[in-house]
Amino acid sequence: MTIYQRITADHKRHRELLDKIESTEGDSRDRRQCWEAFFYDVKAHAAAEEETLYAKLIATEDGQPDARHSVHEHQELDHIMDELDEMDMSSPGWLQRFKTLKHDYLHHIEEEEEDIFKRARQEIDSAVADKLADNFEQRKDKERELVDKKAEEALEH
């Protein structure tokens, strides 16, 4: 599986979770479970993407502007996700902010799949891109471990 296929598979799962979250109401068990799955997977996904695909793309002259743009969007999305994670899920403001996140995230992943991948295929050798797929998965796993460790430490204090 290529780096592009792995990232696209995550995007498909993220789209499904966004739709499920939007179909839930209030501070329900379903909304909380879907939100947590989305929140932690997207955080790990973004970190892995930046350290694998974007690191290679940013090292190229023609790929640098696209990679920087996407990393900036990651920062904006991360900020909205952190806001949502701190808000009361039953408030009308939560759903409004979530809809902003969904719109912005869908725009971001469509741009990645249509524009960034095209540029990356031009700038990154296919053999290197194939190796990045394994690095991407390893980085995602490591990021999940860090999130779990932080959660455990927070509970201990």
CA distances for 152 relative to 17, 34, 47, 82, 139, angstroms: 25, 21, 20, 18, 20
What is the C-alpha separation between 127 and 151, in angstroms, rounded? 37
- In this structure, the chain runs to a length of 157
18-28, pLDDT tens digit by residue? 999 999 999 99
Residue 74 CB coordination number (10 Å): 19
What is the C-alpha separation between 9 and 27, in angstroms, rounded? 28
Instruction: Give the CA dihedral 73, 79, 83, 86, nearest 10 degrees.
Output: 130
Q: Do 14 and 105 form a contact (C-beta atoms < 8 A)?
A: yes
Q: Do 133 and 80 form a contact (C-beta atoms < 8 A)?
A: no
96-142, pLDDT tens digit by residue? 999 999 999 999 999 999 999 999 999 999 999 989 999 999 999 88
CA-based nearest residue to 21, from 42, 44, 49:
42
Put simply, whether the predicted model's pTM sits higher than 0.85 gets the answer: yes
Q: List, in order, residues 6 or more apart from 53 with CB less than 8 Å away.
A: 3, 7, 120, 124, 132, 136
pLDDT of residue 65: 94
Report which of residues 155 and 103 the model is more confident about: 103
Percent of the chain having pLDDT more than 70?
A: 94
pLDDT over threshold 70, residue 155:
no
75-84, pLDDT tens digit by residue? 999 999 999 9
Burial class (CB in 10 A: 0-12, 13-18, 19+), 67: buried
Residue 9 structure tokens:
């598979």
pLDDT over threshold 60, residue 157:
no
Reported confidence tier of residue 143, pLDDT bands at 50, 70, 90 = confident
